[in-house]
A and B are shown apart, each in its own frame.
Chain A
Amino acid sequence: VNQQRQITAFFGKK
């Protein structure tokens, strides 16, 4: 099953 990732898993806080 494919799990939905969050954007924050790819883009870090500035």
Chain B
Amino acid sequence: MLELRLVQGSLLKKVLEAVKDLVNDANFDCSATGFSLQAMDSSHVALVALLLRSEGFEHYRCDRNISMGMNLGNMAKMLKCAGNDDIITLKADDGSDVVTFMFESPTQDKIADFEMKLMDIDSEHLGIPEAEYHAIVRMPSSEFARICKDLSSIGDTVVISVTKEGVKFSTRGDIGTANIVCRQNTTVDKPEEATVIEMNEPVSLTFALRYFNSFTKATPLSNTVTLSLSSELPVVVEYKIAEMGYIRFYLAPKIED
């Protein structure tokens, strides 16, 4: 028996909007720790890891670890039917091939049940090693989204370079080149507006912009985003989900042969 009640149902709506274009089908894993997902895009270039900790749910019952295969497009369609202020409850019986989403309006005057078929998905969980990153950049998530969108109108790839001067995003395309430098800026009114650069070593890596633009669909989940970079390792683009967990996107770099 599984029963997860999330008072801030909009979080789950936003999570689905953030991942549904990157990943088609995925297993949601439910354990005492929380509700999680790990999945790669179809070309195995990017990986998404989601964790919503059990403590973040108003009610969290998961009698045994279960894995529920879902089509994320279909799940997003169902969650779109929940109001932004609705409380969302996920329910599944042991051995069942369906999951039920229950949406309750805040005043309890409207209650909806949506039942979705589960699917069998062969998923291989990857071990993500702990890594020491050469540089960690925290910046406003809206600023990062703006940079990715702007650069993708010029080129297909972005070179992210972190030096003591700041973090530089560069691209080139048929019509020309673009460089955007963000310097550390901690003298702002609100901490979430700061750009903070922790650098152990300078690092420069090349990535496909279209994946970054997909990751920025998670922008509504968090005011800030953290980029963790190390030479010849996938970048980690992390959006913290307040009081609940995180959504992390890993993107493999482009490397010269």
Question: Cβ of B126 and Cβ of A8 under 8 Å apart?
Answer: yes
- Chain A residues 1 to 14 lying within 8 A of chain B, measured CB to CB, are 1-14
CA distance in complex: A6, B206 (Å): 13
Instruction: Please give 18 more A-B residue pairs, beta carbons under 8 A apart, in addition to A4-B252, A5-B255, A11-B129.
Output: A1-B256, A1-B257, A3-B257, A5-B45, A5-B252, A5-B254, A6-B43, A6-B252, A7-B40, A7-B126, A7-B250, A7-B251, A8-B126, A10-B234, A11-B128, A11-B250, A13-B125, A14-B127
Asked if B109 is at the interface of the complex by the 8 Å CB criterion, the answer is no
Q: How far is the CB of A14 from chain B (nearest CB, A)?
A: 4
Question: Cβ of A12 and Cβ of B127 under 8 Å apart?
Answer: yes
7 CB contacts below 8 A, A to B, read A1-B256, A2-B254, A3-B254, A6-B45, A7-B252, A8-B40, A13-B125
Question: Cβ of B124 and Cβ of A13 under 8 Å apart?
Answer: yes
Question: Cβ of A10 and Cβ of B206 under 8 Å apart?
Answer: no
Chain B residues touching A, range: 20 to 34
Q: Residue A6 contacts which of B44, B124, B128, B257 (CB distance < 8 angstroms)?
A: B44
Q: How far is the CB of B51 from chain A (nearest CB, A)?
A: 16
Q: Residue B126 contacts which of A1, A4, A12 (CB distance < 8 angstroms)?
A: A12
Q: How far is the CB of B14 from chain A (nearest CB, A)?
A: 24
Q: Residue B157 contacts which of A2, A6, A8, A14 (CB distance < 8 angstroms)?
A: A2
Question: Cβ of A13 and Cβ of B127 under 8 Å apart?
Answer: yes
Asked if B47 is at the interface of the complex by the 8 Å CB criterion, the answer is yes
CA distance in complex: A7, B38 (Å): 13
CA distance in complex: A12, B128 (Å): 8
Question: Cβ of B208 and Cβ of A4 under 8 Å apart?
Answer: yes
CA distance in complex: A6, B251 (Å): 8
CA distance in complex: A1, B157 (Å): 12
CA distance in complex: A3, B250 (Å): 17
Q: How far is the CB of B203 from chain A (nearest CB, A)?
A: 15
CA distance in complex: A13, B88 (Å): 33
Chain A residue with Cβ nearest B129: A11
Asked if B233 is at the interface of the complex by the 8 Å CB criterion, the answer is yes
Contacts of B252 on A, CB cut-off 8 Å?
Answer: 4-7, 9-10
Chain A residue with Cβ nearest B205: A2
CA distance in complex: A11, B48 (Å): 13
Contacts of B126 on A, CB cut-off 8 Å?
Answer: 7-8, 11-14
